[in-house]
A = this chain, B = another copy of it.
Amino acid sequence: MNLARVAQKLGITESRLQGLHETVIRESGWPEPRLLRFEKETSGVEAGTVIFENGEIVFGYPKIHRALMLAAAVKRHFSDLVAVQEKMNGHNVRILSLNGDIVALTRGGFICPYSTEVARRLVPEYIFEKNPNLVLCGEMVGPENPYVAKDIYPTDSIDFYLFDITEKNCKSTLCVHRTYEIAEEYGLKATAFLGEFHKESAAERIKQIVIRLGRQGREGVVMKDPENIVAPLKYTSSQTNCSDLAVAFRYYNDYALDFFVSRAVREGFQSVEWNESEEERRARALSLGESILLPLVDTIERAQRGENIVQKVQIRVKSLQTARDFEYHLRRSGIRVIFEQPVPDDDGYLIRITKLIMSTNDKTQALLNGEMW
């Protein structure tokens, strides 16, 4: 690897690059190909940025800031037009080809064996034969997404939806319309394009879109400047805020605390901005309260019945090696899992996975036994 060249592409000095090694930059030798990952944002390089052994870089997918007051944020942020994409609820992957092999990188810059098998099934290789530098950024969604299982999307397994395109060694993404052109050209699914609005009317239109998406249990939107002049913004539905809280309170001792407050505060701003009636606020408060109380009650009652607090998901793989690799991948991420015996199914295997939620499990058992908080 030519360090000077890599540093130049990253936009940092060679000595800085060497200084980051083993502190911010971590090696990952498994699965192949070997790579270096930026564990956090440093010197303007996004977290999740990956450097392969041949010196090729895939920049991390940038964090998208969130509007709390939609109309004010749109007005303040955008210059003229606002293109609106659906924000889907799954996990973010970057799919690329290296030495002829397709790999899928997680947000953090690991190669995920399961996402990679899914990508190899869904993304035709000739895309990368024609464009070897292409990096397809998108969301893996569906009921067989073992990170975030959702059955609100039109798949009974797992699917990939493109939302951005970038290239190796390149920090910026293509403009949103170009992304959809390429998706169409190669027959790739892309996240729904929900319209392009002038900034004056955008907030009201987006509000209606988000209300409609929310009714379908969907997450929300990403707003983009069609010319990429300013960074994208995101905005989510009340249903997603509440559903996030429901997951967090079901596993209340395993989640970071700031998760909870941010979700609740979003509800407050949305209620004010949408100028809700007393009745609407009551309904929102009830949803919010139920999304906190009911999962807590369910978790405590399960523990009371002697059940372990676990999360059950499933994956479908072509190769048993993928399942073994994915098990190792989850374990190295600190997730305690039990993989059941693979069940042959079509031309592959269905594998049920039990994630152990240790901290919430142990805490709940202790509190039920009369221990103090």
Task: List residues of A whose CB falls within 8 A of some B CB.
Answer: 65-69, 71-77, 233, 249, 252, 257-258, 260-262, 264-265, 267-269, 271-272, 281-282, 284-290, 292-294, 296-297, 299-301, 304, 367-373
A168 to chain B, nearest CB (A): 29
CB<8 Å pairs between A and B, sample of 26: A66-B373, A71-B370, A72-B370, A74-B370, A76-B370, A233-B372, A249-B265, A249-B268, A252-B265, A252-B268, A257-B257, A262-B373, A264-B293, A265-B296, A267-B292, A268-B296, A269-B300, A269-B367, A271-B296, A271-B297, A272-B297, A272-B301, A282-B290, A285-B286, A286-B286, A288-B292
In this complex, the member of A257, A271, A294, A370 whose beta carbon has the largest number of chain B beta carbons within 10 angstroms is A370
**Complex contact A372–B300 (CB within 8 A):** no
Contact A73–B370 (Cβ < 8 Å): yes
- Expressed in whole angstroms, the Cα–Cα distance for A293 and B76 within the complex equals 26
How many copies, total? 2
Say how far A293's CB is from chain B's closest CB, in angstroms: 4
Of the candidates B269, B281, B289, which one forms a contact with A284 in the assembled complex, judged by CB atoms under 8 Å apart?
B289
| Nearest CB in chain B: distance from A151 CB, A | 24
CA–CA, A249 and B288, complex, Å:
13
Q: Chain B nearest CB: distance from A284 CB in Å?
A: 6
Residues of B within 8 A of A257 (CB): 257-258, 260-261
Beyond the given pairs A233-B372, A281-B297, 18 more chain A to chain B contacts, judged by CB atoms under 8 angstroms and listed by A's residue number, are: A68-B367, A68-B373, A69-B369, A72-B370, A76-B371, A77-B370, A264-B296, A268-B299, A268-B300, A271-B296, A281-B293, A281-B294, A285-B292, A285-B293, A285-B294, A286-B286, A288-B288, A289-B292
**Is A288 touching B281 in the complex (CB atoms < 8 A)?**
no
Indicate if the CB atoms of A300 and B285 lie closer than 8 Å. Answer: no
Contacts of A75 in B (CB 8 A): 370
Chain B neighbourhood of A296, CB < 8 A: 264-265, 267-269, 271
How long is the Cα–Cα vector from A237 to B269 in the complex, in angstroms? 29
Collect the chain B residues with CB atoms within 8 Å of residue A290's CB. Answer: 282, 285, 289
CB distance from A344 to the nearest CB of B (A): 41
Residue of B nearest to A72 (CB): B370
Q: Contact: A260 with B260, CB < 8 Å?
A: yes
**Known contacts A233-B372, A373-B68; A260/B264 CB under 8 A:** yes
Give Cα distance in the complex from A366 to B299, angstroms: 37
Could you tell me the distance between the alpha carbons of A368 and B369 in the complex, rounded to whole angstroms?
Answer: 46
Q: How far is the CB of A71 from the nearest CB of chain B, in Å?
A: 8
Also in contact, A288 and B284, with CB within 8 A (given A69-B370, A262-B373, A370-B73):
no
Contacts of A281 in B (CB 8 A): 293-294, 297
